[in-house]
Amino acid sequence: MLHSVVAGVDGSPQSLTAADWAAREAVLRGRPLRIVCAREALPSEAERALGPQNGYAWAEERLEQLERRLGERHPDLPVEILRESGSPVQSVLAQDAELLVLGSRGLTGVAGHLMGSVSLAVVGRSERPVVLVRAGYDPGAPEHGAVAVGFDFHHEADEPVAFAFEAAAARGAVIRAVHVWDAQRAYGWATIPQDMEVLDEYEGPARRYLADAVAPWRERYPSVGITEEVVRGSAGPGLITAGTGTDLLVVGHRVHGKGRPSPLGHVTHAVLHHAPCPVAVVPHG
């Protein structure tokens, strides 16, 4: 049995956009799509303005519109829609899924991106990759042909990198391998050379690290093109910038045990809030 790509939907524009992204991803992966709508996931604004019964009808109408739209765009894609009652977080996490996809509440522009509480809760608890999709995603637009993934010798893990390469291979995209080098973190505030030419020499080890880290993946995925980018600065802003002009930005999330909530690291948290593209959070031990 093929595992599904699962999208959590509550009728909001952000979640419907996530469902569009999930449908496209399911086609790329050759997987069925499952849409999960939990009753508690109705937007509070709709509940207050329309009342519980009218709010339910409002969400149901959007589910029906979504089902018709997906049928027109992807006529060969198997789509299942589940209507459930209870916690939306638990409803999504309970699915037998290859990948979970959720929307996020976005502010305009790269400078602000406010995540919904359901999305953050699912990311913190999930043992499977979770993709968060911005409200501005256009399912009809051509893709950029690039997937970005960060490499960090302080927190090396194969799972996020493997996910990124598989996503790139499915799209026929290139990998943008990014290592953000922080001079303060590497050498301490008192020893940072101020001359830019000298600082460039200090960057040499970062470039060698990235080349060595990428080399095994070049052999494993010979058909996937790879560009290497060493960025000077803080990890969060560096990865956010690297995500510009990509179809997906992949980051890792260290989990602390089966079924236990795992707080997000500050870099992952920053990327989720501000990245200009869909973000995949891949758990690892």
Average pLDDT (7-15) is 85
Q: How far is CA 113 from CA 155, 184, 203, in A?
A: 25, 27, 31
Spatial distance between the Cα atoms of 67 and 26, rounded to a whole number of angstroms: 15
Contact 247, 171 (CB under 8 A): yes
pLDDT confidence tier of residue 149, bands split at 50, 70 and 90:
very high
Q: How far is CA 126 from CA 68, 122, 222, 260, in A?
A: 29, 6, 31, 9
Residues 6+ apart with CB under 8 A from 42: 10, 11, 55, 56, 58, 59
pTM (2 decimals)? 0.86
Task: Map residue 282 onto helix, strand or coil.
Answer: strand
Q: What is the pLDDT of residues 86-129, one digit of tens each?
A: 888 899 999 999 999 998 764 333 333 345 678 888 998 999 99
pLDDT at position 73 is 94
pLDDT score of 152 more than 90: no
Q: What is the pLDDT of residues 165-190, one digit of tens each?
A: 999 999 999 999 999 987 666 555 55
Contact 82, 35 (CB under 8 A): yes
Spatial distance between the Cα atoms of 176 and 58, rounded to a whole number of angstroms: 41
Structure-model confidence comparison of residues 45 and 209, the more confident one: 209
Contact 178, 151 (CB under 8 A): yes
Mean pLDDT, rounded, of the chain: 84
Residues 6+ apart with CB under 8 A from 253: 123, 124, 262, 264, 265, 268, 281, 282, 283, 284
pLDDT at position 192 is 55
